[in-house]
């Protein structure tokens, strides 16, 4: 079963010192890992899981066989196909063409600003969310992509509940009447800025004079807002305009993903070495590139993009800011940093002053730090040059904070929680009290889409409508343009919209409009939004008055004529910062509570796409973990447990005294088919007397003596899974099972109990960490799955004028030229293919004259955020497989987001390691950069594809337009193709993941007796143009072939259009043969966008037709007519473009563009940056 090994060429001498790895196991080259990656399919894939499964399956198999034999006699009925019905509309729906999707503008509200979207709509079902390019949305991140699954979640709330018990609507309204009678109501809303809500709050204030209003979301970051409010005035938000930013210092701000501080398009535009549109000369353009410094405790997606990155404990950020301020505007340094680090800060500060500089501080930091950063930004001119712009939100109704709420609670009778957050779960310690305790004697009304802890605790839970079922409005995240949220579907489960609840409370008699049962009546939410538009927005300017009406707004989804006002440059004085000592002991580390890349603050706990999407950095699915640096893990005595090295054990002959060699090497190889990192060791983290047990993951690039705990997990419990994950290790509240659906049970641990109030950190003085012996917890991490061997997989160069690599000195131009020759691609002779691409007359086999598709992926802008992966899942009906299956390496994602760590110049220390001794780890030294380089790999559509030749049934064959297609109905599941794929891009359906719910314990192994999920509401999300694959079928990326086919079919109508235009009979068309028919039948340039490309905020994925000279793909691949042939063979006019594993001669259609780093020459580490070319062996 071992796969055939390709003898990859030697690594060039100068790259040998460049240590690269994906996981701790790989870094130490453990035997367990070697065994794991050598196997094509993990061991357990070949067998039943345990005896019980075998029994069930055999028994059920016999039962079924018996039954089907008996039925065979009556089987003739099956010869005729079953009668199927076609049920057309009664009245045709305007704009609806059965079989063709329509597109509607809407937006996803969020605390960071509304995200303008275009929803794809198939016969009444929204199926996919795309960016609204008209509104300037560049891409749709993974959470927004996955929000469509939330809409169809079968576990969504559909009933009114009182303390978890179902009640009728009439009873609910009665309760609401009773609760609101006194008028002492506390309303808690989300943090998004909605004009209509603001209007309704004004009205509510008038009616309920004793009411109070609050805004709350768990991780919205109060410090930044408070600082901005003081400096720029009430409701001010500061956004960065990255198109003007040339030097960016991110202080623990993940501004590219979870902590957005403005539209990121400008950032990526300045990240492309050939300019925003790939049409500049890279050498001349180098001075326009931005430079990103990142100082952060944990590796974030933003940190991965940094040119210079420094790991720093969160408590030291204040000291860093003080030193930076000292450099920039004078003052005393903190004295907390040694000479090397001070030099780093000096060089960084000097660079920030060169123009276009900006410092961005993470939202989670306190107001004082933000004030200090404001002073720095003012000094370096960030506000004056417009890199940072303060704008005023439209919230004219003041909302209090959750702390205010805790204080005011005594004066309230009723609490109405209309926030997307989950306050009961998130606030075990609000001002020292549990949230439940605060609202104990109050009437709690909770409105939400999930039956979570807050819903179950509430006296009245009102099922909410999803944002795709609601009328609402908001303001975009960049300039604050007025944006409309339009419903795409009637509430599936009869949920109540937020504004329906608010308007309901405004009436003389409380009413709750239900759009599902009252579908003939206009929703009051619609009326409210429309009124706001007519009364507030439309009258705001003359430009509006006659030009735009509500219909226009509904069509485009936004208006540029009504937006946030700018708030000037502000003024403020930074107070002196309190500087504390750095944590020195691993047992008393700094704790940082971080937002999770999958569940956000916990609201996406029931979203299986997000749960299964690997964390961009740790590649962990379905769980959270306590992350710590390798050194910290080592100091805690955990590293050996994490990375099972070859151990020296006492041999049986040791006591006989006859041999001198008394030790034997043992190789611990995991037996249950999982990778070597399957079971993680546990630690007990205590903060201020409260503790949680957490599983540990070693996170490279973290600051020492820091533990980061992602929030939002551990919301629900299920005993079956607990046993399987050995989750005895994690303490769950056994009563919490009702708070989540089958998706969210037993995922991770809950870190909220450690959090004091809304704190994001716990100082080392109140923290203790100790190892828990003999307890382990099962983790499903994808980082070592589908490992690709090879040289120069991800390539990196730097803009430095002269870099010494090995013996050579290369400048930027030379490095650019050598991109395609990295990894010995220059030394390996051109592969001669046994395939012939032309017949004897030189005519190409299988060659479409109009379309030849290709893709290019720019590693300079790819952050590894995994939005493409979720978008692909949404577009291509990719199933979720569940944690157990992921642990076996069976995840189905067509895009594998490889994430490599690299430490240029790091000695290959595995060899000089003594037995049983843990090796040294990447250091905390800021001048020895640890780099991250992501590399998204899907099927690269080889011209001479190894998979095609081995398929015994021709299920995977080449197409005329250059795809490597899959005829799923033909596949018999031999898996030869996956064996033969050097890119490991193929995924196999080991089970019928679509039909049988993989999230129920052992359900997959029950065969036909298992619970089915066919026809549940999730299937409404399916793309009707993509086959839903069944068990035993191989699948992979085919460049969204459904979109390509549809574009080609649309182009076929061009002849007809031309005929109609000419007015001549159709048979006379092109009688002289002078029409360029290839051009005529070609899809228009850039008309086809594949799902991953559409989702990518960075625009890192470019897709197009290489035969179309106007297509964007020409810019990235630089294909000209004369070198078309050369291009197909992997040499490109754009020097930065290279083919993955070029030397094996597969001639892939997807090419990559090397990452260009732009280091600061004044930094000591400059020459080490930009050398993270990845060779895996």
Selected from 287, 520, 1067, 1122, the binder of other proteins by CB under 8 A is 1067
Query: Is residue 968 a contact residue for other proteins (CB under 8 A)?
Result: yes
Interface with other proteins includes 959 (CB under 8 A)? yes
- Applying CB under 8 A, which part among 245-253, 739-747, 822-830, 1023-1031 lies near other proteins? 1023-1031
Q: Does 1071 sit near other proteins (CB under 8 A)?
A: yes
Q: Quick one: 326 or 1030, whose CB is closer to other proteins?
A: 1030
One of 6, 89, 95, 653 touching other proteins (CB under 8 A) = 89
Residues pairing with 968 in the sheet: none
In this chain, which stretch among 62-70, 412-420, 479-487, 1072-1080 interacts with other proteins, using CB under 8 A?
Answer: 1072-1080
Token couple for 1051: 């182009």
Query: Considering the rule CB under 8 A, would residue 339 count as an interface residue with other proteins?
Result: no
203 sits near other proteins (criterion: CB under 8 A): no
Place of tokens 């001349």: 284
Is residue 966 involved in binding other proteins (CB under 8 A)? yes
1010 close to 994: Cβ distance less than 8 angstroms: no
| Least spacing, CB of residue 877 vs other proteins, in Å | 12
The CA angle 727-732-735, to the nearest 5 degrees, is 130
Contact between 1065 and other proteins by CB under 8 A: the answer reads: yes
Q: Copy the structure tokens of residue 204.
A: 């509510």
Examine residue 1081 and tell whether it contacts other proteins (CB under 8 A). yes
The answer to whether residue 441 forms part of the interface with other proteins (CB under 8 A) is no
DSSP one-letter code for 534: I
Side-chain-side CA neighbours of residue 1031 (13 Å): 12
Q: Is 766 helix (H, G, I), strand (E, B) or coil?
A: helix
Contact call for residue 844 and other proteins (CB under 8 A): no
849-888: contacts with other proteins (CB under 8 A): none
440 vs 1079, beta carbon nearer other proteins: 1079
- 396 scored as a contact of other proteins (CB under 8 A): no
Separation of alpha carbons 372 and 28, rounded Å: 42
3-state secondary structure of 481: strand
1014 interacts with other proteins by CB under 8 A: no
State the Cα angle at 31 between 30 and 35, rounded to 5°: 125
Q: Does 1077 bind other proteins (CB under 8 A)?
A: yes
Are β-strands 102-108 and 160-162 bridged in parallel, bridged antiparallel, or unpaired?
Answer: unpaired
Alpha helices in 485-635 (DSSP H): 498-506, 524-532, 542-547, 550-556, 608-612, 630-635
Residue 827 binds to other proteins (criterion: CB under 8 A) = no
Q: Does 1063 bind other proteins (CB under 8 A)?
A: no
Q: Which two tokens stand for residue 52?
A: 């019980």
Structure tokens, 655: 């006591």
Q: Does 1019 bind other proteins (CB under 8 A)?
A: no
Task: Report 69-88 residues binding other proteins (CB under 8 A).
Answer: 79-81, 83-88
- SS3 at position 812: helix
Question: Residue 432 Cβ, how far from other proteins at the closest point, in Å?
Answer: 58
Nearest-angstrom CA–CA distance, 1070 and 1077:
9
Which of 481, 958 has the CB closer to other proteins? 958
911 forms part of the interface with other proteins (CB under 8 A): no
Smallest gap from Cβ 970 to other proteins, in A, equals: 7
- Shortest distance (Å) from residue 980 CB to other proteins: 19
467: Cβ contacts below 8 Å, ≥ 6 apart: 106, 108, 109, 147, 485
915 makes contact with other proteins (CB under 8 A): no
Looking at residues 120 to 159 of the shown chain, list those that interact with other proteins (rule: CB under 8 A): none
Q: Evaluate whether 606 touches 744 at the Cβ level (below 8 Å).
A: yes
* Cα–Cα dist 148/680, whole Å: 33
> Contact between 102 and other proteins (CB under 8 A)?
no
CA-CA distance, 1024 to 877, in Å (whole number)?
9
The β-bridge partners of 388 are 240
Residue 1015 interacting with other proteins (CB under 8 A) = no
Closest to other proteins by CB, 92 vs 541, is 92
How far apart CA 974 and CA 899 sit, in angstroms, is 29
- Which residue's CB is nearer to other proteins, number 895 or number 1033? 1033
Q: Which residue has the tokens 């070029």?
A: 1142
CA 35, 40, 43, 44 dihedral sign is positive
Q: Does 516 bind other proteins (CB under 8 A)?
A: no
Of residues 1055, 1084, 1129, 1164, which one binds other proteins by CB under 8 A?
Answer: 1055
Residue 403, sorted as left (phi over 0), alpha (psi -120 to 50) or beta, turns out to be alpha
Part of the chain binding other proteins (CB under 8 A), chosen from 334-342, 508-516, 577-585, 1060-1068: 1060-1068
Which residues between 446 and 485 bind other proteins (CB under 8 A)?
A: none
Report the DSSP beta bridge partners of residue 593.
Answer: 709
Cβ-based nearer residue to other proteins, 81 or 734: 81
950 in contact with other proteins (CB under 8 A): no
| Residue 53 burial (10 A CB sphere; 0-12, 13-18, 19+) | middle
Candidates 225-233, 267-275, 937-945, 962-970; binding stretch for other proteins (CB under 8 A): 962-970
Give the number of other Cβ atoms within 10 Å of residue 34's Cβ: 14
Which is nearer to other proteins, 188 or 1083 (by Cβ)?
1083
Question: By C-beta, is 79 or 656 nearer to other proteins?
Answer: 79
Closest by alpha carbon to 303, among 27, 617, 621, 597? 617
Do residues 719 and 737 lie in contact, with contact meaning Cβ atoms separated by under 8 Å?
no
The neighbour count for residue 489, using CB atoms within 10 Å, is 18
Kindly tell me which residue out of 162, 490, 651, 957 binds other proteins, with binding defined by CB under 8 A: 957
CA distances from 772 to 277, 647, 769, 775 (A): 54, 21, 9, 6
How far apart are the C-alpha atoms of 141 and 681, rounded to whole Å?
32
CB 301 within 8 A of CB 256: yes
Count residues near other proteins (CB under 8 A).
57
**Sign of the alpha-carbon torsion through 750, 756, 760, 765:** negative
Q: State which residue, 88 or 829, has the beta carbon closest to other proteins.
A: 88
Closer to other proteins at the Cβ: 227 or 1038? 1038
- Structure token digits, residue 4: 């055939």
Single out the segment in contact with other proteins by CB under 8 A; choices: 29-37, 615-623, 684-692, 1040-1048. 1040-1048
Sheet strands side by side (includes 767-778): 761-762, 590-594, 706-710, 626-628, 690-698, 679-687, 767-778
Tokens of 105: 């503008």
Complex with other proteins: residue 540 or 1027, whichever CB lies closer: 1027
The distance of closest approach from Cβ of residue 1065 to other proteins in the complex, given in angstroms and rounded to an integer, is 6
Q: Which residues pair with 685 in a beta bridge?
A: 692, 769
* 554 contributes a contact to other proteins by CB under 8 A: no
Contacting other proteins (CB under 8 A), which of 294, 873, 1025, 1108?
1025
In the list 2, 91, 660, 671, the residue contacting other proteins (rule: CB under 8 A) is 91
Of the residues 1069, 1124, 1125, 1162, which one makes contact with other proteins according to CB under 8 A: 1069
Among 11, 167, 828, 1059, binds other proteins (CB under 8 A): 1059
Stretch of 251-259, 385-393, 900-908, 1022-1030 contacting other proteins, by CB under 8 A? 1022-1030
Determine, following the binding rule CB under 8 A, whether residue 963 of this chain makes contact with other proteins: yes
- Contact range with other proteins by CB under 8 A, out of 112-120, 423-431, 489-497, 1063-1071: 1063-1071
Residues that bind other proteins (CB under 8 A): 79-81, 83-92, 97-100, 846, 848, 954-955, 957-960, 963, 965-970, 1025-1027, 1038, 1041-1042, 1045, 1049, 1052-1053, 1055-1056, 1059, 1065-1071, 1073, 1077-1078, 1080-1081
């Amino acid at each position: 079963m071992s796969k055939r090994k390709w003898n990859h060429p030697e690594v060039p001498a100068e790259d040998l010192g460049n240590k690269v790895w994906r996981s701790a196991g790989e870094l130490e080259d453990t035997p367990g890992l070697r065994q794991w990656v050598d196997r094509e399919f993990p061991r357990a894939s070949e067998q039943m899981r345990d005896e019980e499964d075998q029994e069930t399956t055999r028994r059920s198999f016999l039962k079924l066989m018996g039954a089907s034999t008996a039925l065979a006699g009556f089987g003739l009925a099956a010869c005729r196909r079953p009668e199927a019905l076609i049920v057309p509309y009664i009245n045709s729906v305007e704009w609806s063409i059965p079989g063709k999707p329509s597109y509607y503008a809407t937006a996803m509200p969020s605390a960071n600003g509304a995200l303008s979207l275009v929803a794809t709509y198939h016969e009444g079902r929204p199926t996919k969310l795309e960016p609204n390019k008209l509104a300037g949305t560049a891409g749709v991140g993974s959470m927004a992509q996955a929000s469509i699954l939330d809409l169809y979640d079968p576990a969504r709330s559909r009933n009114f509940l009182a303390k978890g018990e179902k009640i009728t609507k009439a009873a609910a309204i009665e309760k609401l009447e009773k609760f609101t009678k006194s008028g002492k109501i506390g309303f808690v809303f989300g943090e998004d800025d909605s004009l209509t809500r603001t209007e309704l709050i004004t009205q509510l204030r008038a009616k309920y004079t004793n009411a109070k209003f609050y805004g709350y979301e768990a991780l919205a970051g109060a410090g930044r807002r408070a600082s901005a409010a003081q400096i720029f005035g009430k409701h001010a938000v500061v956004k960065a305009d990255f198109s003007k930013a040339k030097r960016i210092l991110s202080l623990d701000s993940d501004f590219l993903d979870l902590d957005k501080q403005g539209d990121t398009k400008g950032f990526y535009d300045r990240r492309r070495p050939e300019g925003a549109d790939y049409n500049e000369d890279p050498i001349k353009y180098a001075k326009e590139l931005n430079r990103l410094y990142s100082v952060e405790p944990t590796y974030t997606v933003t940190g991965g993009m940094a040119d210079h990155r420094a790991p720093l404990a969160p408590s030291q950020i204040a000291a860093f800011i003080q030193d930076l301020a000292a450099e920039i505007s004078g003052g005393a340094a903190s004295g907390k940093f040694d000479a090397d680090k001070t030099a780093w800060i000096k060089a960084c500060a000097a660079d920030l002053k060169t123009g276009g500089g900006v410092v961005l501080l993470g939202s989670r930091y306190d107001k004082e730090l933000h004030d200090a950063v404001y002073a720095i930004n003012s000094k370096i001119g960030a506000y004056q040059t417009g890199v940072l712009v303060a704008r005023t939100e439209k919230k004219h109704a003041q909302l209090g904070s959750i702390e205010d709420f805790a204080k005011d609670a005594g004066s309230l009778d009723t609490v109405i929680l209309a926030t997307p957050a989950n306050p009961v779960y998130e606030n075990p310690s609000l001002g020292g009290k549990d949230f439940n305790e605060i609202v104990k004697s109050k009437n709690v009304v909770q409105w939400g889409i999930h039956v979570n802890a807050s819903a179950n605790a509430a006296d009245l839970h009102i099922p909410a409508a999803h944002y795709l079922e609601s009328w609402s409005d908001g303001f975009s995240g960049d300039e604050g343009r007025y944006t409309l949220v339009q419903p795409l579907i009637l509430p599936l489960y009869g949920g109540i919209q937020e504004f329906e609840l608010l308007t309901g409370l405004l009436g003389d008699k409380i009413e709750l409009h239900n759009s599902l049962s009252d579908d003939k009546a206009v929703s009051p939410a619609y009326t409210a939004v429309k009124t706001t538009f007519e009364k507030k927005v439309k009258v705001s300017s003359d430009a509006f008055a006659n030009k735009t009406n509500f219909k226009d707004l509904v069509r485009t989804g936004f208006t540029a004529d009504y937006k946030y006002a700018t708030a000037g440059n502000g003024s403020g004085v930074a107070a002196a910062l309190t500087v504390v000592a750095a944590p020195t002991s691993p047992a008393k580390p700094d704790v940082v509570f971080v937002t999770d890349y999958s569940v956000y603050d916990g609201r996406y706990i029931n979203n299986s796409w997000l749960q299964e999407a690997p964390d961009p950095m740790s590649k962990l699915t379905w769980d959270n973990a306590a992350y710590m640096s390798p050194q910290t893990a080592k100091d805690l005595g955990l590293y050996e447990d994490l990375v099972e090295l070859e151990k020296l054990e006492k041999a049986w002959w040791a006591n006989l005294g006859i041999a001198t060699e008394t030790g034997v090497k043992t190789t611990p190889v995991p037996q249950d088919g999982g990778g070597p990192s399957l079971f993680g060791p546990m630690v007990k983290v205590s903060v201020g007397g409260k503790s949680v047990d957490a599983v540990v993951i070693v996170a490279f690039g973290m600051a020492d003596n820091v533990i980061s705990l992602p929030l939002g997990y551990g919301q629900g419990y299920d005993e079956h899974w607990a046993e399987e994950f050995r989750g005895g290790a994690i303490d769950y509240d056994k009563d919490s099972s009702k708070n989540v659906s089958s998706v969210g049970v037993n995922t991770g641990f809950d870190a909220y109990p450690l959090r004091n109030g809304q704190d994001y950190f716990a100082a080392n003085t109140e923290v203790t960490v100790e190892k828990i012996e003999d307890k382990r917890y099962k983790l499903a991490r994808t980082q070592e799955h589908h490992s690709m061997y090879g040289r120069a997989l991800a390539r990196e160069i730097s803009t430095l004028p002269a870099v010494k690599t090995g013996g050579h000195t290369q400048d930027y131009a030379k490095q650019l030229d050598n991109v395609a020759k990295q990894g010995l691609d220059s030394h390996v002779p051109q592969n001669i293919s046994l395939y012939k691409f032309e017949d004897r007359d030189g005519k190409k086999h299988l060659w479409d004259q109009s379309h030849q598709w290709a893709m290019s992926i720019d590693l300079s802008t790819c952050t590894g955020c995994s939005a493409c992966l979720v978008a692909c899942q949404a577009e291509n009906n990719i199933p979720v497989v569940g944690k157990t299956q992921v642990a076996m390496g069976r995840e189905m994602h067509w895009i594998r987001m490889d994430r490599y760590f690299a430490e240029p110049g790091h000695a290959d220390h595995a060899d000089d390691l003594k037995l049983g001794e843990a090796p040294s780890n990447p250091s905390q030294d800021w001048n020895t950069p640890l780099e991250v380089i992501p590399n998204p790999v899907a099927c690269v559509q080889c011209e001479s594809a190894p998979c095609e030749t081995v398929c015994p049934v021709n299920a995977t064959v080449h197409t005329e337009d250059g795809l490597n297609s899959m005829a799923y109905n033909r596949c018999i599941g031999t898996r030869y193709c996956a064996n033969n794929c050097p890119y490991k891009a193929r995924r196999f359906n080991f089970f019928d993941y679509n039909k049988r719910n993989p999230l129920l314990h052992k359900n997959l192994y029950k065969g036909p007796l298992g619970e089915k999920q066919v026809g549940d509401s999730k299937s409404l999300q399916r793309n009707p143009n993509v086959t839903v694959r069944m068990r035993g079928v191989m699948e992979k990326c085919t460049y969204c072939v459904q979109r390509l086919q549809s574009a080609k079919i649309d182009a076929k109508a061009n002849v007809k259009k031309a005929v109609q235009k000419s007015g001549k009979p159709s048979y006379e068309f092109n009688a002289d043969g002078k029409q360029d028919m290839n051009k005529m039948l070609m899809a228009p340039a850039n008309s086809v966008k594949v799902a991953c490309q559409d989702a990518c905020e960075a625009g890192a994925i470019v897709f197009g037709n290489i035969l179309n000279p106007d297509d964007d793909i020409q810019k990235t691949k630089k294909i000209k007519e004369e070198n078309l042939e050369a291009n197909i063979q992997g040499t490109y006019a754009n020097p930065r473009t290279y083919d993955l594993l070029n030397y094996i001669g597969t001639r892939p259609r997807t090419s990559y563009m090397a990452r260009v780093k732009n280091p600061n020459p004044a930094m000591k580490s400059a020459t080490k940056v930009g050398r993270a070319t990845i060779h895996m062996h």
